[in-house]
């Protein structure tokens, strides 16, 4: 039943070798930029490429401020901190996400609260969010508190799953009604948009990731993005060990972090950024081909971008008719050298988070048993 899919993927990538789920693409320009950074001798966070990458990314996204960081997890950790998350607070997020989303909350000594996802977008469901808040929260002095735990709900973190834009406008509207900041986890969504606005720019603050498997990569790497100058300045200060600005003296005015992106990473990020549009174009061609190929099959539905949105199709996904079919697809494709994977285990099922408060998670559980990600790399000729 799956032999035609295996042939389709091999024909697309024109290889009989192992086909990874998502691997980076490098050209000579990548080596040239990194070599230039090495020749400059400014290889750590003090270097021209860090500033260059921040400016170029900010212009592309249409935001005032970008703070380049060592990875997406630290970006989310710090974004939550500067948004006001403190020890003992609660942060609402979705259970269907990569573990870094929940980890970043706990790194701030706060508690994740899991609310269901939407079947269409695979991201946080506005209806479930509104229902959870109406049933479990109350406003006191302009802030939202959990009626059961009496703890402050200090942030909501929606995640754009696989690069598919979630219903972020609706989520932000609900959050504003409850006076809860939205910290947008756009780690997988560089190039994805709702209408003409980029994911990561709807909330109070957003983050991106440039890990080795992302749309563009610099090995590691992440970024905080915001239109709030005060928050951006705070992020830059904290990520550079909270060093007080001075020509030669080393003084620090609070506990900070060594979270800034290095110039070597930024050089590679700048080189990759020059190739972004070609990568996105090729991935959209792949998505269109998957959609056409799978349109008449009975064993799965191809996951398409939500109406009115543009997905970067970071990871292409299908929803099988059941868990048995999911497992069979995973086994046959991987045995044939075609790398596929299921969705992550739900955060609410992991031993670290199983005691966290959660709403009804029917959609997340249904999707967990059916999602399969298909090979999604851009081709070598982009």
Tell me, what's the pLDDT at 1?
79
As given in the structure block, the two tokens for residue 253 are: 């005015």
Task: Determine the Cα–Cα distance for residues 113 and 172; give it in Å rounded to an integer.
Answer: 17
Are 70 and 196 part of one and the same domain? yes
Q: In the listed set 234, 251, 273, which residue is the last one of a domain according to the structure? A: 273
For the chain, helix (H) and strand (E) counts, in that order, are 12, 16
Q: In the listed set 217, 243, 273, which residue is the last one of a domain according to the structure? A: 273
Tell me, what's the pLDDT at 265?
98
- Could you count the other beta carbons within 10 Å of the beta carbon of residue 360? 12
Whichever domain contains 345, its CATH number is 3.90.1150.10
DSSP for 23-70, written as a single string: -----HHHHHHHHHHHHHS--SSSSHHHHHHHHHHHHHHT-SEEEEES
Range of the domain at 33: 28-273
Number of domains in the chain: 2
Are 46 and 124 part of one and the same domain? yes
Are 83 and 119 part of one and the same domain? yes
382 within some domain? no
Are 252 and 309 part of one and the same domain? no
Are 111 and 208 part of one and the same domain? yes
Q: Note down pLDDT in tens along the chain; length 382 residues.
A: 799 999 999 999 999 999 999 999 999 999 999 999 999 999 999 899 999 999 999 999 999 999 999 999 999 999 999 999 999 999 999 999 999 999 999 999 999 999 999 999 999 999 999 999 999 999 999 999 999 999 999 999 999 999 999 999 999 999 999 999 999 999 999 999 999 999 999 999 999 999 999 999 999 999 999 999 999 999 999 999 999 989 899 999 999 999 999 999 999 999 999 999 999 999 999 999 999 999 999 999 999 999 999 999 999 999 999 999 999 999 999 999 999 999 999 999 999 999 999 999 999 999 999 999 999 999 987 7
212 within some domain? yes
Whichever domain contains 179, its CATH number is 3.40.640.10
């Amino acid at each position: 039943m799956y032999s035609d899919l295996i042939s389709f993927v091999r024909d697309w990538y024109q290889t009989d070798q192992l086909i990874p789920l998502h691997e980076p693409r490098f050209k000579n320009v990548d080596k040239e930029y990194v070599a230039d950074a090495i020749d400059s001798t400014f290889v750590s966070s003090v270097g021209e490429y860090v500033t260059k990458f921040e400016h170029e990314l900010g212009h592309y996204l249409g935001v005032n401020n970008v703070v380049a960081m060592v990875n997406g997890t630290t970006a989310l950790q710090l974004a939550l901190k500067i948004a006001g998350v403190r020890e003992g607070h609660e942060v609402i997020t979705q259970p269907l996400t990569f573990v870094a989303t929940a980890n970043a909350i706990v790194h701030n000594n706060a508690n994740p609260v899991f609310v269901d996802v939407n079947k269409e977008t695979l991201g946080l469901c506005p209806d479930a969010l509104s229902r959870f808040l109406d049933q479990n929260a109350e406003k006191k002095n302009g802030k939202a508190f959990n009626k059961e735990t009496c703890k402050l709900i200090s942030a909501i973190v929606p995640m754009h799953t696989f690069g598919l834009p979630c219903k972020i406008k609706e989520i932000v509207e609900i959050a504003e009604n409850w006076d809860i900041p939205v910290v947008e986890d756009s780690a997988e969504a560089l190039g994805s948009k709702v209408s003409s606005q980029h994911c990561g720019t709807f909330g109070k603050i957003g983050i991106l990731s440039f890990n080795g498997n992302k749309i563009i990569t610099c090995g590691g790497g992440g970024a905080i993005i915001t239109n709030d100058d005060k928050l951006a300045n705070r992020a830059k200060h904290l990520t550079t060990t909270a060093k007080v600005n001075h020509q030669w003296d080393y003084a620090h005015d609070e506990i900070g972090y060594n979270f800034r992106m290095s110039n070597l990473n930024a050089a590679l990020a700048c080189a990759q950024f020059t190739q972004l549009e070609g990568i996105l174009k090729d991935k959209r061609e792949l998505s269109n081909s998957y959609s056409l190929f799978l349109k008449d099959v009975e064993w799965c539905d191809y996951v398409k971008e939500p109406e009115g949105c543009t997905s970067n199709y970071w990871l292409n996904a299908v929803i099988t008719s059941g868990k048995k079919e999911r497992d069979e697809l995973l086994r046959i494709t991987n045995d044939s050298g075609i790398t596929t994977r299921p969705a992550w285990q739900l955060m609410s099922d992991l031993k670290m988070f199983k005691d966290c408060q959660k709403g009804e998670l029917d959609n997340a559980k249904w999707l967990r048993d059916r999602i399969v990600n298909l090979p999604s790399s851009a081709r070598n000729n982009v």
